[in-house]
């Protein structure tokens, strides 16, 4: 399929081959590397995105944002983390204590599990599952459990309303998100993320797919925003309506966990858009232009990946600091009466495109 020189080797794959050759130390080393990569990615992404969000917001709003702690406030997220850790850990007297304590971890776990599968570069991917996309969709669906449990166990009516909204919203929009990703699965002919990236060596799916992938991309952009609980779909939180929604009763680190998972989820969604529609770590290639393609290959794949992902993260932030919030019934109407029919029709059209071999 591809003419590119890239060879994908995930960390899990390396650990497996080391194990087969009997190198126990290397196997353990690779497994540790995988864990470390996932954990550090989680931390770094969280910290960088929190800083980025504040700076982006500040510039949208004609102000400076954090400026005092470190150069242009770069150490502010660390200061925030210290503050959050020192805060009192509150559990409401009549809350369901075990579930209340468990909920933030449920959210976090769902996020961590997806991080391991993201192809950061050909040599930098923890696991390369052959059911990659199905795995991502299944695991991100667990995140809603944390929100639901958190809102329900808080014994607060506002939290309860927020949790109910979140449940309805995230599960509904999951449908459109899945249908739009299926378009790329059909075009690429694989569920494996590395295969999907490789299939874009001669051009990204966003324009190879003759419009159907563009529609799928827009659908995914909208429905993933809803799944991330970000403006204009931030109803579960809805601070002006529900005071703070599902996390009203959370303080300190537990509150931070909810937000950390939201930010990392934003990274995951952006990474998925970059990977599926814009070639992931694959450089920008044009058909037979050998020289141009060679120049593009000079830029490391990791930089390509991060560049594309950062752009989509910026788009999410742009949404957040521009749009007002929808109302709960308008939100549902948008999904079930607008996005879903379009997604279904698009999927049908895409199957036509694939069967007729109409794509590039």
Of 110 and 334, the one with the shorter C-beta distance to other proteins is 334
Of 56 and 110, the one with the shorter C-beta distance to other proteins is 56
Q: Looking at 81-89, 203-211, 292-300, 327-335, which segment touches other proteins (CB under 8 A)?
A: 327-335
Q: How far apart are the first and last CA of the chain?
A: 12
| Among positions 298, 329, 356, 357, the unique one binding other proteins when judged by CB under 8 A | 329
Q: Does residue 321 belong to the site contacting other proteins (CB under 8 A)?
A: yes
Q: Looking at 198-206, 214-222, 317-325, 346-354, which segment touches other proteins (CB under 8 A)?
A: 317-325
71 Cβ neighbours under 8 A, 6+ residues apart: none
Residues 3 to 62 in contact with other proteins, rule: CB under 8 A: 57, 60-62
User: What is the b/e burial string over 130-141, where b = at least 16 CB atoms within 10 angstroms of the residue's CB?
Assistant: eebbebbbebbb
Q: Which two tokens stand for residue 155?
A: 């014994």
| Among positions 105, 112, 325, 349, the unique one binding other proteins when judged by CB under 8 A | 325
Q: Does residue 330 belong to the site contacting other proteins (CB under 8 A)?
A: yes
Integer Cα distance of 344 and 347 in angstroms:
5
Integer Cα distance of 11 and 187 in angstroms:
27
44 Cβ neighbours under 8 A, 6+ residues apart: none
Residues 196 to 255 in contact with other proteins, rule: CB under 8 A: 231-232, 234-235, 238-243
Residues 144 to 163 in contact with other proteins, rule: CB under 8 A: 157-158, 161
Q: Closest approach of Cβ 262 to other proteins, in Å?
A: 16
Contact 276, 95 (CB under 8 A): no
Q: Closest approach of Cβ 57 to other proteins, in Å?
A: 8
User: Around Cβ 348, how many Cβ atoms within 10 Å?
Assistant: 11
User: Around Cβ 62, how many Cβ atoms within 10 Å?
Assistant: 6
Q: Closest approach of Cβ 281 to other proteins, in Å?
A: 34
176 Cβ neighbours under 8 A, 6+ residues apart: 219, 220, 222, 223, 335, 339, 340, 343
Q: How far is CA 15 from the centre of its chain?
A: 26
Q: Closest approach of Cβ 175 to other proteins, in Å?
A: 21
Of 324 and 357, the one with the shorter C-beta distance to other proteins is 324
Of 97 and 337, the one with the shorter C-beta distance to other proteins is 337
Residue with tokens 């659908």: 219
Q: Does residue 327 belong to the site contacting other proteins (CB under 8 A)?
A: yes
Residues near other proteins, by CB under 8 A: 57, 60-63, 157-158, 161, 165, 231-232, 234-235, 238-243, 321-330
């Amino acid at each position: 399929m591809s003419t590119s020189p890239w060879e994908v080797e995930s960390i899990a794959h390396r650990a497996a081959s080391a194990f087969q050759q009997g190198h126990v130390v290397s196997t353990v080393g690779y497994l540790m590397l995988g864990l470390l990569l996932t954990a550090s990615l989680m931390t770094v992404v969280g910290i960088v995105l929190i800083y980025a969000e504040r700076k982006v917001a500040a510039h949208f709003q004609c102000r400076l944002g954090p400026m005092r702690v470190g150069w242009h406030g770069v150490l502010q997220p660390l200061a925030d983390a210290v503050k959050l850790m020192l805060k009192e850990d509150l559990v409401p007297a009549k809350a369901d204590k075990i579930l209340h304590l468990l909920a933030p971890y449920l959210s976090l776990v769902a996020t961590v599990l997806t991080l391991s599968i993201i192809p950061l570069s050909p040599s930098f991917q923890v696991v390369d599952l052959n059911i990659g996309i199905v795995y991502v969709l299944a695991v991100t669906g667990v995140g809603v459990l944390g929100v639901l449990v958190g809102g329900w166990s808080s014994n607060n009516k506002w939290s309860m309303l927020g949790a109910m909204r979140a449940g309805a919203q995230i599960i509904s929009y999951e449908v459109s998100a899945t249908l739009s990703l299926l378009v790329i699965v059909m075009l690429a002919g694989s569920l494996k993320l590395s295969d999907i990236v490789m299939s874009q060596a001669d051009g990204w799916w966003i324009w190879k797919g003759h419009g159907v992938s563009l529609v799928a991309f827009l659908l995914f952009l909208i429905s993933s925003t809803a799944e991330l609980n970000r403006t204009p779909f931030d109803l579960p939180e809805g601070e002006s309506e529900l005071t703070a929604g599902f996390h009203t009763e959370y303080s300190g680190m537990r509150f931070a966990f909810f937000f950390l998972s939201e930010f990392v989820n934003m990274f995951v969604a952006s990474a998925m858009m970059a990977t599926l529609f814009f070639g992931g770590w694959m450089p920008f290639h044009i058909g037979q232009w050998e020289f141009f393609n060679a120049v593009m290959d000079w830029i490391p794949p990791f930089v390509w990946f991060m560049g594309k992902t950062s752009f989509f993260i910026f788009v999410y932030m742009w949404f957040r600091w521009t749009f007002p919030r929808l109302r709960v019934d308008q939100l549902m109407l948008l999904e079930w009466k607008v996005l879903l029919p379009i997604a279904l029709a698009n999927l049908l059209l895409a199957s036509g495109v694939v069967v007729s071999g109409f794509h590039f």
